[in-house]
Amino acid sequence: MKPRTELYPPIEPYERGALIVSDLHTLYWEQSGNPRGIPVLFLHGGPGGGCSPRHRQFFDPAFYRIVLFDQRGAGRSTPLGEVRENTTPILVRDIEKLREHLGIDRWLVFGGSWGSTLALAYGQAHPERALGFVLRGIFLGRKREVEWFVNGMGYVFPEAWRQFAGMVPERERGDLLHAYARRLFDPDPAMHLPFARAWGHYEGSCSNLMPALAAGTAAQMETDAVALGLARLECHYMLNGIFMPEGALLAGVPRIGHLPCTIIQGRYDMVCPIVSADDLQRRWPGAEYIVVPDAGHSAWEPGTCAELVAACERMKRKLVTG
């Protein structure tokens, strides 16, 4: 039988909480689905993107114990947009604290975009805690990927890039990342909020192949509730090379290469171009690799969404037969 490809119906969490991970940061977390099911951890994108109720719907609630949480500085975690005490190794430690707090031994790790980055970093640091991976829109944090995001997307979306670059004086456009950082981290909301919205609008405008979805994605990503965490944290991590050595995530694949993995990539992903997924698959030949021929970056494009649900359905058999 072909696996299910439709999202599951909306569900509510059976438990929510706030995990204090430092004197500064508190993380929102929730659990839904089957309390005695196979645990699955959802890692949101960005960094700084946060989770939404719809993310629960990728997973069979009768089979999976579904764990969502907002990473430091994102979503319902506090403080929003905070970059202090916020690095990749720290986020990996947060995941372990959450796992221990929930009494989970091992879990399936699901992540898209930045979530794929963090999933790889976590899995490579703690391979004994991962049951497998479902990864989408691969971002490996390399310099060329950051440069593509800041400038390269303008080759395909010149209108969006002109609007993004036009926020700063022409003399500063040779280094847009630092130009935006100076404004995003200004304490005055009258300064940082317009630049956060502009960042979110730029990324959202380039995230979809399907035009019918593009306007909605851009509008959602430039709302104040999303834009500040997204823009500040993405800028922070890009400026610092995701706080990992160049190429470290590819080099670390042998630590998790024995685990089941599905990589799902939109052919026309302009935010995280397919070359990174291709690089990862060639380093991880045992992984299932699915290229969605009519999709961009967003998880909500029909083909990508269907493949994500189907991947989680196929994982059910692998996890049960183990």
Q: CA-based angle 264:214:237, to the nearest 5?
A: 60
d(CA 213, CA 206): 11
Question: Quick check: bond before 47 cis, omega within 30?
Answer: yes
Helices (H), the chain: 88-102, 114-125, 143-150, 158-165, 176-184, 189-205, 211-221, 224-239, 248-251, 274-283, 302-321
d(CA 56, CA 282): 30
Sheet hosting strand 288-292, strand order edge to edge: 15-20, 26-33, 64-69, 38-43, 107-112, 130-136, 261-266, 288-292
- Which candidate in 44, 126, 297, 298 is catalytic? 297
Length of the chain: 322
- Which candidate in 32, 70, 269, 276 is catalytic? 269
Is residue 113 flagged as an active site residue? Answer: yes
The pair of structure tokens assigned to 119 is 């999933």
Helix, strand, coil shares of the chain as percentages rounded to 5? 50, 15, 35
- Which candidate in 32, 77, 113, 298 is catalytic? 113
d(CA 86, CA 59): 29
> 141-178: buried (b, 16+ CB within 10 Å) or exposed (e) per residue?
bbeebbebbbbbbbeebeebbeebbebbeeeeeeebee
Catalytic site positions: 113, 269, 297
